[in-house]
Structure 1
Amino acid sequence: MCGEEENNIKRPLFWIAVCFALGEAYAVAAGHSVIVSGLMIMAALVLSVCTDRAGTAMSFFRDPIYRRLLTGNIFLLVTLLGFMNIRSVDRQGQLADEIMEIDRCRVVCSVYDVRNANKGYQVYVKTESMDNQRIGTKLILYMDNVDDIKMGQQIAVYGRMERPDIASNPGEFDARSYYAYKGIYMICRDAVITERGSGYSTIRQFLYSFRLKAGETLDRYLAVRDASVMRAMLLGEKSGIDRDTKRLFQLNGIAHILAISGVHIAIIGMTLFKLLRRISGSNVMPGIVSVCVIVLYGMMTGLASSTCRAVIMMTVVVAAKIKGRSPDMMTSAGIACVIQAVADPYIVMDAGFQLSFAAVLGIAVVDPMLEKIVGHGGRLSALRINVSVTLTTTPLVVYYFYQFPLYSVVLNMVVVPFVSVLIFCSMAAIFFGMMPGVWGFASVTAQFLAMPVRYILAAYRALCELMCKLPEYSVNVGHVSVEMVAVYYVTLVVVLWLLCRIRQKNIERPTVRRAAVLAVFFAVTCVTYEYMAYDRNFRVVYMDVGQGDGILIRSGKGVNILIDGGSSDNSQVGEYVIVPVLRYYGAAHIDYAFVTHADSDHISGLKYILQTENTGIIIENIVLPLYGMQDDFEELKEAAVNAGVNILYMKKGDAMEVSAGGVDKLLGRDMAKISLSFLYPGPETGINDINELSAVIRLDYQSHRMLFTGDLGEAGERYLLDEHADVRADVLKVGHHGSRYSSCVDFLNAVSPEFAVISAGADNRYGHPHAETLDRLEAHGAGVKSTIECGAVSVKIDRGGLKLEQYR
């Protein structure tokens, strides 16, 4: 809340917040790394010099050396405080691991929020004690009924304590990290309330009841799909949002409108503030009222990271207006950053937190620089702001979601202006819809106000579907490293700064030429680094799909191949495992999807991709065994035909080749081919069991081989041996999830694998992998990797040798 006359303090406040957040990020990611420690010290010293040259640091010291040393020490101290802030909560994670050893636990806690879950409810509580030990932490209780629970009420529950699930595949949602960023380290299953207090929080209970009634009102006046979207946009209820709409918005880069952020807070808070100020003629009372309203609104919606940031920044803006000063966006952003990081230390690692502040920096820092470069004009300002936000958020979007919506800048220019109309009409519809029934006009008014909401959301979907028909509407980049993100931001800042220097009219020509040359050189160097650092290696990934199979083969030239994709114990394996893994590896375009046989634990995920719109995954060809049990493939074939996917057939003796890597050619290395040979089944096997007719495929790359056997058992293995099939391989995908009746001794002798990978689900009812199978593999000397213990297992060829990596 600083005016221009107080420029001497506003920028250091922002950089102090940056240093605090860096200290927390350092504590999470780097531990006690000497190299990172040195980089943190250098960053603090550079900041001290920059702030001093700007005339903003410790102006009461005449000697610049003293000023810079003191400023640098302050930045280092703040960084250290951020580091210590993270370390102070590490004990909670250790405590959670200790409590896991207790079967059932008695917890005394107070309720602060209730949310719908897929089955039942999530009750968010703050604990006071666990098994009579005083422990203050956050916890989620999973319950079937919450009718008698009130917000702020103290309850005692018995339940089974668990840690949130950890991701077992690259790109998969990591619940443990997600909840840790919110200060939650444990969840309680099968929670039963044994005692309850009589007191509760009147304000919290009112907000909770209001949220429920507001949601019911939206359900009454909007279609189910539209109501779910507005529940997310207005009330923070994202669990019930229509999945098709969510996927469509994500692919086109407008999913941010579903989060409660600055737009919502500005509409509610600033509209109320300006209205009350016009009525009262004062700033004080309208400011206090509007701040109270937005704080209560934030509490009602759950205070997500973006919401909390917007509430704090709005409060600073209102406080500045009350004091008669000009608000500064960077200062208010810095204050919000520190407050949130102190309250929830791990929040600096949250994607929503980072994207929210990146958007603010785009508006506060990049947009003014672009204005100096391209000039300012009323018609271009909206486009310039959209470009600025896109420039600052793109690396984070790619880092967390592995894709970039190519036309998002244009689409956001159309979508964002109507968000305020959506919010205003929905809030007005809620207001009139919640009036008593005796007000006859209220229902009609609510229906009238709901009409624009329906039309705007329908227009959003139509626009997104139109964009999806354009070429490369969503570019699947795949995973990038933190170093690549850092290089991008450094490049952005340096190039924009140099371009600003070029545009200054009072700069001499030699300086302009040097700045132009430096800008081009720096941009080209950094782009070259990004290109070279990108992962294009040949890789085979055995996904952890639970009790099932799913294997991705990624060549270095962009050819992607799937072998199976399904699970019998994870009904949503396609949405939550296979699709994220494909996006992570930049494999959104599948050239060939081989299916070994038609059991659901091998095809359920493939069926999801074929039958679901807007997954972002395209399959060109489905490859089926010609002599498999074709009747069982009918449903899959029908889904493929409806999706416009080619169906190919292979039989024993067929083979195909794909190129392994364009980058290898660029660097002058050997351009090897990936060869896929179809070894089984043939026309006359004499076998009628669906598992024993699983397709057997051998992959040859350079001097290495990998064998994929589906659910093949001993009968199929004996047939292969009798036919003298060449089954030698370095890596064996163990048949039938490590069943007792697969991988017989003779077959293992013929394959002679160096490594064996078993895909099975934890605690499966079949007892896979069987101890006898493991003993046979161990006796043979094969290194065994099971997805149960290792998560996803990836195989890559590094310098001519095989290298196996496990995800966890």
Structure 2
Amino acid sequence: MNIRRPLVWLLAFYIAGIALYRVSSISIVVIAILLCILVLGRLLLLKCKRRERLSNFGFILGFPILFILGYSLMNHQIKPNKMDQVFENSIKGTVYGKLQSLEDKGSYVVLTLIDNVIDPDTNHIKNNLKKVSLKQNEVYDSVKEADTYQSKKIKVYTSENSNFKIGNILEISGKIEKFQKATNPGQFNEYEFNKIQKIDYKIKAENIKVVDGRYSWFFQTLHDIKNKFIQVYEQILPQKNAGLISAMILGDTSGLDKDIKDLYRENGISHILAISGLNVSLIGMSLFHLLRKLRIPNFIATLLSIFLIFSFGVLTNFSVSTNRAVVMLIVFMCGGVIGRTYDLFSAASLSALIILINSPMEIYNAGFLLSFTAILGMALIYPILKNILGKRNKLVEAFLLTLSIQVITLPVMLYFFYEFPLYSIIINLIILPLSSLIVLIALVAGLAGFIAISLGSFIIGGAHYILNFYEAVCRFGEKLPGRMILIGRPDLWLLAFYYFILIIWILLNTELVRKKTIILLSFLLLIFVKPKNVDLEVTFIDVGQGDCIFMNSPENVTYLIDGGSSDVKEVGKYRIEPFLKSKGIWKVDYVILTHLDTDHISGVLELMESSKNGSYEGNIIIGHLILPDVQEKDQEYMDIVTLAENKGIKVLYIQKGDIIKEKHVTITCLNPSPDALHADNASSVVLSVNYGDFNMLLTGDLEGEGERQVLGILNGTSSLLSPKDKDTDEIINEPIEVTKDYDVLKVAHHGSKNSTFEEFLSVIKPEWAIISCGYNNRYGHPHEELMERLLNINSKILTTPEKGAVTLIINKELILFKCFS
């Protein structure tokens, strides 16, 4: 029995080793290997002729070898660098490393150094070097022998744009920083993103010195060619289109217009901003056919094409899609030389294996998964859909190809980006046929620009008008109703179920096309429709030094209590909005601001600025804004009211005695009092949340007189009366009963010692205390005095710097706590 597509089998076992690393112990791995050998050995040797058994047995031995290799390489890559133990977040130090790449971002330059030697003590290296006499090019090797830390790759940020060359050995002193891990659902994981690229640290350079001027002629030449192309495009095109062409052809996004980038993303065509496998194949095959036209022998033409396409990959920094396309194209060309048939699955498997051996963590990268699932869609789903439809024409086939890719990549899209553009299939049908033409025109124009800028300007005209057409199509797409569908991040079991159904559908149609099974495919999207919320869910989002609480009731009414930070820039964009989208929340019914300090409102203001009335179009919609009802409203207060009104957000005011009542949830306001003057800490909105037997107290930055007034209500020494009816102005003055037995307390003022005193805690006696503050913040929150007061009443304490986002899921029987970190 011949084994078909052995590379596919080997890749499968390698990936199994990678995947099992994160979910199992070494004993389970050993058992898994033995089971794999036994089961597959039985299957492969069952029908073999005797002389085939030896070769098949040798092949089977490759399974556990690849499995172990995947497991061990994943273990090696995911392991933290030894220097992580030396410092917490940042430290001054000196780095010696070889320059691998240089990217000019305009206002700053990013250098990537490889084979680095790090000394966190800047004097340590210098003292060691003074002991011996060294020539300049011997410095690097001598430092390596010193008692220092090693790092494979480091990213350097500097404003210095000196004439560094690829391969130079640089000495860089400055602030070495760790990458930040995600602490909230939906938040970008800077640590994992860079770990995938094997980058350990970043350094903000204060001083850079070249200690060895030797460089790589090959890599520096490619770097210079890339820069020359960028310069040519900037001269022959408007700035906006020059940035687009540089991204599409060279993989350089430094000049990409943010508005255009967002426009393409919202219309589902952002993939054309990356170097696609189609474009790499187009360039490679065009080079090959050009060489053959020049009557260069097939073997020589193949070698030259492989060298040039590899050089193109280096020039564009070998992204995942470029890497995949280069390997698959090389396999295709080599197959033509040796007379072997090209197999798509084997070529794609080899490409994936090379990428994953270099970096096993790529398996968790959206780019890798989208690139290879798209290949599977074209190879497995497209032929079936084409056969089901029967009659064909070019337009229908293009639609089916795009649909096939969308069907198989949809779960990946939702897992990483939470939403998808409804009209992307149609827009891609219009856009994609012209993308290859843009690539050819831009390449020819760029090369012509090397000779004469006027010649490049003449040739590039077609690409310029096509890009303007792209923008016009996307602007039209912006105006279409319901253009974005927000689903949220699906659970992993849902992704597995989706692909299980898809595999069943493919198997049913492999040998005999069954047209009725298309109905099964049509209902796949329903898998991701979220069921109605049945519990009360509360999340204390980690926003650094600030407050942000999200609440979703059993009636699916959503609340955001505060949302700001004093140490996280654009906290709305990078933490609050991603969190909401990952949960599938496109509208917040009520935003409640407890008071108007920046660390409670900055993110909310961002959401309000981007909020639009009507259907969801990619930005979070806010229904109502609730502000503390105080007597004196300063300019900042009125500016917020004006912004809300301009955005169509209904403004409400809240004070002591007001109640927000749903079927199962009651929210009672305990502060501010009607005579409160300003929206300051003492006048913070305090909310008592009741759901069945569960009670939670949210206190904003409550302190001083405000805390004393709330304590009076809880003690019963101060009555809590319903204020006047908001619609009729009728004075109600009905007494309101408020519990003083709280399960959860959101500790006031980020754990300041100047609030939440013993007398207050002795009354409410919370079982759990949640503190929201920044890691190593300059205020020293939470203060030791406050922590001691909480421990004295036996409260269990959870802090966002330690636990990340803290989520409570409350049903009528229990409270489930989930900490993100």
TM-score (norm 2): 0.85
State the partner residue of 1:18. 12
C-alpha displacement of 1:67:
9.0
Matched, 1:320 2:335: yes
Q: Which residue of 2 is the match for residue 715 of structure 1?
A: 705
Q: Is the 8 A contact 1:233 1:258 kept in 2?
A: yes
- 1:678-705 Cα offsets, whole Å, 9 max, x none, are 33224323x4362222222222222112
- In structure 2, relative to structure 1, the CA distance for the partners of 1:96 and 1:584 (3 Å cut) is farther
Task: Tell me, yes or no, if the aligned pair for 2:610 and 2:619 is still in contact at 8 Å.
Answer: no
Shift of 1:330: 0.9
User: Helix, strand or coil: the match of 2:551?
Assistant: strand
**Deviation per residue, 1:21-76 (Å, 9 max, x gap):** 2222322x2242766776777677777788889x9xx776578xx99877655433
2:562 is paired with a residue whose SS is: strand
Whole-Å separation in 1 of the counterparts to 2:460 and 2:169: 40
Q: Which is worse superposed, 39-48 or 220-229?
A: 39-48
CA contact (8 A) 2:631 2:678 kept: no
Higher deviation after alignment, 533-542 or 259-268 = 533-542
Kindly state the Cα deviation for residue 576 of structure 1 after the two structures are TM-superposed: 0.8
Q: Which residue number corresponds to residue 667 of structure 2?
A: 676
Partner Cα distance (2:10, 2:23) in 1: 20
Equivalent-residue separation in structure 1 for 2:621 and 2:806 (angstroms): 24
The separation in 1 between residues aligned to 2:530 and 2:262, in whole angstroms, is: 31
Alpha-carbon displacement from aligned partner over 1:78-98 (angstroms, at most 9, x marks no partner): 22222222234455x242424
Within 5 Å, give how 1:368-379 maps onto structure 2: 368-375=383-390, 377-379=392-394
- Alignment partner, residue 66 of structure 2: 78
**1:332 and 2:347 equivalent?**
yes
Distance in 2 (CA, whole Å) between partners of 1:224 and 1:658 is 54
Seen in structure 2, the aligned counterparts of structure 1 residues 700 and 18 have a Cα distance that, compared at 3 Å, is same
Q: 1:376 to 1:778 in 2, by over 3 A?
A: farther
Aligned to 1:622: 625
The residue number in structure 1 matching 2:84 is 97
Counterpart pick for 1:794 among 779, 804, 807: 807
1:46-61 aligned at under 5 Å gives the runs none
1:183 aligns with 2:198: yes
Contact 1:480-1:534 within 8 A present in 2 as well: no
Please say if residues 380 and 506 of structure 2, whose CA atoms lie closer than 8 Å, have aligned partners that are also in contact: no
Contact 1:429 1:450 in 2 (8 A): no
Indicate yes or no: 2:474 matched with 1:474. no
Of 274, 295, 298, 1:283 maps to 298
More displaced stretch, 36-45 vs 553-562: 36-45
Q: Which amino acid aligns with 1:679?
A: L
Q: Distance in 2 between matches of 1:37 and 1:375?
A: 49
| Structure-2 change in CA distance of 1:709 and 1:552 (3 Å) | same
Which one-letter code corresponds to 1:13 in the other structure?
Answer: L
Q: What is the 5 A alignment of 1:34-49? A: none
Which residue does the alignment assign to 1:668?
Answer: none
- Name 1:651's counterpart in structure 2: 655
CA displacement at 1:113 relative to structure 2: 0.5
Looking at structure 1, the residues matched to 50 and 345 of structure 2 have their Cα atoms a distance apart, in angstroms, of 24
Question: How far did 1:336 drift?
Answer: 0.6
Moved more, 72-81 or 406-415: 72-81
- Aligned position for 1:431: 447
Task: Please state how far the C-alpha of 1:492 moved relative to its aligned partner.
Answer: 0.5
Matching residue of 2:723: none
Per the alignment, residue 421 of structure 1 pairs with 437
Tell me the distance in 2 between the aligned counterparts of 1:262 and 1:635.
Answer: 50
CA RMSD of aligned residues (A): 3.4
Among 542, 545, 555, which residue is 1:544 paired with?
542
Q: Structure 2 stretches of 5 or more lacking a match?
A: 120-142, 612-616, 713-717, 721-737
- The residue number in structure 2 matching 1:144 is 159
Name the structure 2 match of 1:390. 406
Partner in structure 2 of residue 409 of structure 1: 425
Match of 1:115 in 2: 103
Cα drift, residue 304 of structure 1: 1.6
Residue of structure 2 in register with 1:705 after alignment: 695
Q: Does 1:32 align with 2:25?
A: yes
Matches within 5 A, 1:263-662: 263-280=278-295, 282-375=297-390, 377-379=392-394, 380-436=396-452, 441-442=454-455, 444-445=457-458, 448-449=461-462, 451-466=464-479, 469-471=480-482, 473-500=483-510, 503=513, 537-612=535-610, 615-627=618-630, 630-631=633-634, 632-658=636-662
Q: Which segment is superposed worse, 492-501 or 96-105?
A: 96-105
Deviation of 1:573 (Å):
0.7
**Which deviations, in whole Å up to 9, do the C-alpha atoms of 1:576-623 show, x marking residues without a partner?**
111111111111221221222222222221222222376432222222
Counterparts in 2 of 1:410 and 1:10: CA distance versus 1, 3 Å: farther
d(CA) in 2 for partners of 1:390, 1:61: 45
CA contact (8 A) 1:252 1:405 kept: yes
Query: Which deviates more from structure 2 when the two are superposed, residues 588-597 or residues 618-627?
Result: 618-627
Q: Counterpart amino acid of 1:645? A: I
> Partner letter of residue 571 of structure 1?
K
Amino acid paired to 2:627 = L
Query: Is this contact kept in 2: 1:367–1:385, CA < 8 A?
Result: yes
Q: What percentage of residue pairs aligned between the two structures are identical?
A: 30
Distance 1:103 1:768, change over 3 A: closer
Tell me if structure 2 keeps the 8 A contact 1:111–1:150.
Answer: yes
8 Å CA contact retained: 1:30, 1:36: no
CA distance in structure 2 between the partners assigned to 1:529 and 1:436 by the alignment? 57
Mapped to 2, the partners of 1:747 and 1:299 lie a distance apart of 64
CA contact (8 A) 1:699 1:706 kept: yes
Matched letter for residue 702 of structure 2: L
3-state SS of the aligned residue for 1:503? Answer: coil
Q: In structure 1, the residue corresponding to 2:352 is in which secondary structure?
A: helix
Aligned-pair CA distance for 1:19:
1.9
Q: 1:86 to 1:194 in 2, by over 3 A?
A: same
Pairing 1:783–2:796 present: yes
Give the residue type in structure 1 aligned to 2:181. Answer: I
| Deviating more after overlay: 767-776 vs 528-537 | 528-537
d(CA) in 2 for partners of 1:201, 1:782: 62
Q: Distance in 1 between matches of 2:385 and 2:34?
A: 30
Q: Give 5+ residue unaligned stretches, structure 1.
A: 1-6, 505-511, 660-672
Point out the more displaced range, 277-286 or 390-399: 277-286
Give the superposition deviation at 1:542.
0.9
SS at match of 1:616: coil
The within-5 A match list for 1:207-286 is 207-238=222-253, 241-280=256-295, 282-286=297-301
Matched to 2:547, the amino acid is: D
What secondary structure sits across from 1:763 in the alignment? Answer: coil
**Could you tell me which residue of structure 1 aligns to residue 734 of structure 2?**
none
Q: State whether residues 432 and 445 of structure 1, in contact with CA within 8 Å, keep that contact through their aligned partners in structure 2.
A: no
**TM-score, normalized by length of structure 1?**
0.86
CA-to-aligned-CA distance 1:165-212 (integer Å, 9 cap, x gap):
111111111111111111122223335334421211122222222323
Counterpart Cα distance in 2 of 1:260 and 1:443: 21
The DSSP-based 3-state class of the residue aligned with 2:651 is: strand
Q: Deviations over 1:114-136 (max 9, x none)?
A: 12469632211112544544646
2:543–2:565 Cα contact (<8 Å) kept: yes
User: Are the counterparts in 2 of residues 620 and 646 from structure 1 also a CA contact under 8 Å?
Assistant: yes
Write the letter of the residue equivalent to 1:755: W
CA distance in 2, matches of 1:280, 1:260: 30
Q: State the AA in 1 paired with 2:820.
A: Y
What is the aligned partner in structure 1 of residue 818 from structure 2? 805
Q: State the AA in 2 paired with 1:416.
A: L
Whole-Å separation in 1 of the counterparts to 2:44 and 2:263: 44
